[in-house]
Structure 1
Amino acid sequence: MSSDVPNFYNGQNVLITGGTGYLGKLIIGKLLRTTNVNNIYVIIRHKKGISSDQRLQQLFDDMIFTNISKDLITQKLHAIEGDLSKTELGLSEADKSFVRDKVNIVFHCAASLNMKANLVDAVMTNVNGTAALLDVIKEAKHLKAVVVVSTAYSYCINKTIEEKFYETPINADVLLNMAEHLKPELFELIGSKLSEKWPNTYTFTKAVAESLLKTRGRGLPIALFRPSIVTSTVSDPVAGWSDNLYGPLGVLLSTGCGILRVFPGDNSVHMDTVPGDFAVNAMLCLAWNIHKNWESNPNTFEQSVYNFSGYNSPLYLTTQDYSKTALNSGYPRFKRALFAPMLIIIYNKFIYNILTFILHTIPGMILDIISVFMRKKPRMYKIYSKMYKVTSVLLYFVSHEWKIKNDNVAALWKKLSPSDQTLYNFDLQSIDRDEYFYNIMTGLKKYTLKEETPNNLKPHKERFIK
């Protein structure tokens, strides 16, 4: 049976930005497990006194690589020191020449995901990082495919998100020039006016960065990949794995621990989520498809946008049903749970504040007072303060709903052979919803809280939730 996708990667050199992030790790693992890729190069910056090589070694210790031979990882995975905020990624002349001479396939996953980042930092990472990468690879001699990862919410100012390039709110090069030369206070003032329609600096800078594909990326075999909210894996390499608590995973963990009991939002709004392993499978197949289209006729190649959305899939649930399905999935209760899990999602701000005082503030104060009497460090105030910052960021996304078109992704799926569809499954209709949510909660318990579940432990069911 034909397997075109792994054959495409055999003997190729792959460059990844954001290789230490969630999607980056999954890409690396999938390539090592399913292809005979020649080498994988990860651009990593020097951080807190730890070199790029040392950070790569730390990556080897991640549990998702435990079933991959250490010799294979050492042989095929290599670090290149770089920085997204620098011109041409801050690469040395030798590294730039190496990339241009050797790299065949590129996945640009790196980004600043901090929704509350100041505009200068977000611009220098998300916009400059994309511009710098394109400047480096535009002279690559053997380039076959480039996948640039954005977000389905880059143009969340529209109720319907089409698979197309939108008109940018400001020229990317102008914005970069302003960020580099204006005083930070002045730039933030001007930037706040430019980005006032967007909920945060992340979505705004991602919107601007997308336009660079049409300018600095012109003439390259390149496509834009926009996933919605990325959550835990379905099964690959293990079920329920995630290494971050962005978005709904943080909410589910806090609720499972009995800490978060009331949440601001509209319980009738739908959550659009996609599993991490399915997103990566779609990206790997997209690179194959880019090359296939480019190879047939480079002169007529058109850059395309691929929205990877859970719209109308088994995972497309209202915020209420999303939380209810997870908490009632029968998962073994978290050992660290302070109270029985429950979650009230309320849109009315006045009622939300009252419930927050009753269900969060009072219990938190009591627990902190008890901690003081027991000569332990009080921690609930700090936990709730951090939690409120997270919920304030999520409020926009659980108060609005979008229709995210995904026709290009659907067409990509149909192009795959049965063998490739099995090996690189990203068909969201194939997901068993109840099993997936059980695995999400069990994964949070096992991989985040580091709590093992005895085989004879009876699962808890029917959590109260409104």
Structure 2
Amino acid sequence: MVSIPEYYEGKNVLLTGATGFLGKVLLEKLLRSCPKVNSVYVLVRQKAGQTPQERVEEVLSGKLFDRLRDENPDFREKIVAINSELTQPKLALSEEDEEVIIDSTNIIFHCAATVRFNENLRDAVQLNVIATRQLILLAQQMKNLEVFMHVSTAYAYCNRKHIDEVVYPPPVDPKKLIDSLEWMDDGLVNDITPKLIGDRPNTYIYTKALAEYVVQQEGAKLNVAIVRPSIVGASWKEPFPGWIDNFNGPSGLFIAAGKGILRTMRASNNALADLVPVDVVVNTSLAAAWYSGVNRPRNIMVYNCTTGSTNPFHWGEVEYHVISTFKRNPLEQAFRRPNVNLTSNHLLYHYWIAVSHKAPAFLYDIYLRMTGRSPRLRNIRYGFNTILVILIWRIFIARSQMARNIWYFVVTHARQEIFIAESQAEHKGRRRREREREREEEEEAGGERRTKKGRVLLEARNWVLTEQRVKDDENHLPGRGLKCRKGCEVLQREAAAFSGDGVEGQRILPVITVHYLNLRDHLRGGPICQKLATFVWDSEISVHSVTSDSGEYLC
């Protein structure tokens, strides 16, 4: 059997969504790992006064392509930007471009979609369903097409307890829905949307389910494969660990938690956090297209690109690793020290919303008004509350669907290391540490810098919040009733002069307290030692042993 790079050698690839998060990574990986690919036709529309060529050039100039630029400086010659509008008949292609695509294309990767959870139903249908149908109609005319690869979502059938690698019947006939939306006004569409989507939480998931059915029915004569990723996050390994360029999905929540804005989430600690790195999704897509192209299976191939059934990771673990990361590497402009409380109890959730979100936001906005500035935190808090309560909690956090991965392993058995997609082989702790790089990229995208100053500011805030003074000769760690058997060494450090939340020239004693620890889980044995070790910064604290108030030896 030919290898993956050998299969793509001399092929002409058509790619949609190349300016999006997933499409960018797929484009970079394809050109870097399959350098003998002939051409990549990128369908891009004009936007904000930029031509398709200018938009593609902006993407190629980003940090994501640094490695590719070093290894293959002439990679731009293989990319052909084509002006196209996916929702229009024949994709609004010129006759010349249409002829080239029909005559030359061998493989299609359809990554374009709207990922806004609260998208208007009409717009979501146009971008996720009609655009897919238009691309299928074009694919049917292609003379040398080998594979049509469609990127969907593992949550398209979130109303099912178990999701197998098959296309399920849609909630409504897509053709009838498209015809109905043509004569409905916006008010009527908004009124019927809740009834149409039923037990699906938003229009994104609803229309992605419809799109899968369109691919199955309209593309019955094509060699079709569908990849269903779960929650796509920062890269695991390629092109380098932790790359991300947006605050969509979990990234925005992580940054909000790191800034101290997000302090509570309605989630179960034991619910699956089905996070999958973007490079794993890309490698699965490239390998799936290779498998379908080489083996020509009779039936449509569906791949659940998830981690829940192979490497389960839970929201309680996510909360611990995210918060510990930001406490080791605090943001410079944090609103409060990072701390997130997870609860699945409805009453407790609204209590913490009032105490940790609404009240601080209200008081801070009053302060902004008094100082002549525009209030903003209340709107930010409302936005996160909308996302968490209405859009995300019902599926991504509260529920624990099990998407079965069957063909996922078939695809991976013959790959080289450069197309690794087996996220079940990842060690959780190592994966979390590598994803600290994600924080750096997110901070860069938002204008934040993770610096030593940020750490000093966090220590200063903790000094004020805890109102505890640690002397050189004290023989205990304050807070939560934990004591050191042999004592703790707390070293004073002179803080550099800084402005902002601190006082210039103030002498700061780093106060690292047991208050940081999540003592609700696993007090005995190794975990408590590991959590204490998490907060050893530059050898400022040395913990010899820990006992409870009753004298029980913990570690």
Question: CA–CA distance in 1 between the matches of 2:352 and 2:173?
Answer: 45
Residue of structure 2 equivalent to 1:231: 233
CA RMSD of aligned residues (A): 2.3
1:324 corresponds to 2:320 = yes
Contact kept in structure 2, 1:122 and 1:202, CA below 8 Å = yes
Distance 2:321 2:372 in 1: 39
CA contact under 8 A between 1:80 and 1:95: conserved in structure 2?
Answer: yes
Q: Distance in 2 between the 1:357 and 1:200 partners?
A: 26
Q: Is contact 2:244–2:441 with CA below 8 Å preserved after alignment?
A: no
Give, in angstroms, the shift of residue 328 of structure 1: 2.4
Separation (CA, whole Å) in 1 of partners of 2:68 and 2:316: 39
- 1:369-448 map, 5 Å: 369-392=366-389, 393-397=391-395, 398-414=397-413, 416-417=414-415, 420=416, 422-447=417-442, 448=445
Instruction: From 330, 333, 336, give the equivalent of 2:330.
Output: 333
Tell me if structure 1 keeps the 8 A contact 2:113–2:128.
Answer: yes
Deviation at residue 181 of structure 1 after TM alignment:
3.1
Rg: which structure is higher? 2
Which residue number in structure 2 is paired with residue 57 of structure 1? 57
- What are the superposed Cα offsets for residues 245-283 of structure 1, whole Å, 9 maximum, x if unpaired? 233222211111111001122332111111100110111
Match of 1:266 in 2: 268
CA contact (8 A) 1:268 1:320 kept: yes
2:467 is aligned to none
- Tell me the CA shift for residue 203 of structure 1: 0.8
Of residues 111, 118, 121, the one that matches 1:119 is 121
Distance 2:421 2:276 in 1: 9
In the TM superposition, residue 432 of structure 1 has moved relative to its aligned partner by: 2.7
| One-letter amino acid of the counterpart of residue 444, structure 1 | R
> Tell me, what secondary structure is at the counterpart of 2:372?
coil
Alpha-carbon spacing, 1:211–1:262, altered in 2? closer, same or farther (3 Å): same
State yes or no: 1:363 paired with 2:365.
no
Within 5 A, what are the aligned runs for 1:10-159?
10-35=9-34, 36-69=36-69, 71-159=73-161
Q: Distance in 2 between matches of 1:222 and 1:72?
A: 32
**C-alpha distance 89-464 of structure 1, shift in aligned 2 (>3 A):** farther
Q: CA deviation at 1:186?
A: 3.4
Question: Partner letter of residue 307 of structure 2?
Answer: G
C-alpha change, 1:352 and 1:191, in structure 2 (3 Å) is closer
Shift of 1:214: 2.3
| CA–CA distance in structure 2, aligned partners of residues 187 and 369 of structure 1 | 39
Rate the CA distance shift 1:254–1:458 in 2: closer, same or farther, 3 A.
closer
Q: 2:282 maps to which residue? A: 280
Aligned residue type for 2:301: S
2:305 pairs with 1:308 = yes
Q: Is the 8 A contact 2:261 2:357 kept in 1?
A: yes
Question: SS of the residue aligned with 2:238?
Answer: coil
Deviation of 1:7 (Å): 1.1
**Fraction of identical pairs, as percent:** 29
Deviation at 1:446, TM superposition (A): 3.3
- Give the equivalent residue in structure 2 for 1:297: none
Contact 2:17 2:43 in 1 (8 A): yes
**1:331/1:441 contact within 8 Å kept:** no
Separation of aligned partners in 1, 2:142 and 2:115: 28
C-alpha distance in 2, partners of 1:99/1:232?
A: 32
Preserved contact between residue 242 and residue 434 of structure 2 (Cα < 8 Å): yes
Shift, 1:293, TM fit: 1.5
Alignment of 1:200-219 (within 5 A): 200-219=202-221
Task: Give SS of 1:15's match.
Answer: strand
Q: Which stretch has the larger CA shift, 99-108 or 386-395?
A: 386-395
CA–CA separation in structure 2 for the residues paired with 1:279 and 1:76? 23
Inter-partner Cα distance in structure 1 for 2:235 and 2:209: 27
For 2:542, the equivalent position in structure 1 comes to: none
CA distance in 2, matches of 1:442, 1:264: 27
- In 1: Cα distance, 2:190 partner to 2:367 partner: 44
Distance in 2 between residues matched to 1:272 and 1:436, nearest whole Å: 14
Residue 456 of structure 1 and its aligned partner are, at CA, apart by: 12
Counterpart of 2:351 in structure 1 is: 354
Pair 1:156–1:237, CA change in 2 (3 A): same
SS in 2 for 1:396: helix
Bigger mean CA offset, 174-183 vs 227-236: 174-183
Most deviating of 66-75 and 169-178: 66-75
Q: How much has 1:48 moved relative to structure 2?
A: 2.4
Structure 1 residues 453 and 354: alpha-carbon distance in aligned structure 2, compared to 1, 3 A threshold? closer
Q: Given the superposition, is the C-alpha separation of residues 449 and 464 from structure 1 closer, same or farther in structure 2, using an over 3 Å criterion?
A: farther
CA contact (8 A) 1:14 1:41 kept: yes
CA distance in 2, matches of 1:76, 1:88: 24
Change (3 A) 1:362 1:192: closer
Please give the alpha-carbon distance, in whole angstroms, between the structure 2 residues aligned to 1:180 and 1:158. 30
Q: Quick one: distance in 2 between partners of 1:400 and 1:208? A: 22
CA distance in 2, matches of 1:179, 1:79: 32
CA drift of 1:4 comes to: 0.5
Q: How many Å separate the matches in 2 of 1:380 and 1:278?
A: 36
The one-letter amino acid of 1:41's match is: Y
Native 8 Å contact 2:332 2:453 kept in 1:
no
Higher relative contact order (CA 8 A, sep 6+): 1
Match of 2:484 in 1: none
Deviates more, 1:181-190 or 1:138-147: 181-190
Once the two structures are superposed, residues 416-437 of structure 1 have per-residue CA deviations (whole angstroms, 9 ceiling, x without a partner) of 14xx1x1111111222322322
Flag structure 2 segments of 5+ consecutive residues without an equivalent: 459-511, 521-555
Which amino acid is the alignment partner of residue 310 of structure 1?
A: T
CA distance in 1, matches of 2:328, 2:221: 50
- Paired residue type of 1:395: W
Report the Cα offset of residue 225 of structure 1: 0.9
Structure 1 runs, 4 residues or longer, greater than 6 Å off: 455-462
Cα distance, 1:456–1:381 mapped onto 2, change above 3 Å: closer
Rounded Cα–Cα distance in structure 2 between residues aligned with 1:53 and 1:222: 29
Residues 247 and 394, structure 1, Cα contact 8 Å, conserved in 2:
no
In the TM superposition, residue 190 of structure 1 has moved relative to its aligned partner by 4.3
In terms of mean alpha carbon deviation, does 278-287 or 163-172 score higher? 163-172
Does the 8 Å contact 1:156/1:198 carry over to 2?
A: yes
Distance 1:202 1:457 in 2: 38
Structure 2 Cα separation of the partners of residues 331 and 64 of structure 1: 26
Is 1:334–1:445's contact at 8 Å kept on the other side of the alignment?
no
1:457, distance to aligned residue in structure 2 (A): 9.4
Q: Partners of 2:449 and 2:366 in 1: how far apart? A: 30
Residues 456/267 of structure 1: CA separation in 2 closer, same or farther (3 Å cut): same
Give me the whole-angstrom Cα distance separating, in 2, the residues matched to 1:238 and 1:25.
14
Q: 1:342 to 1:154 in 2, by over 3 A?
A: same
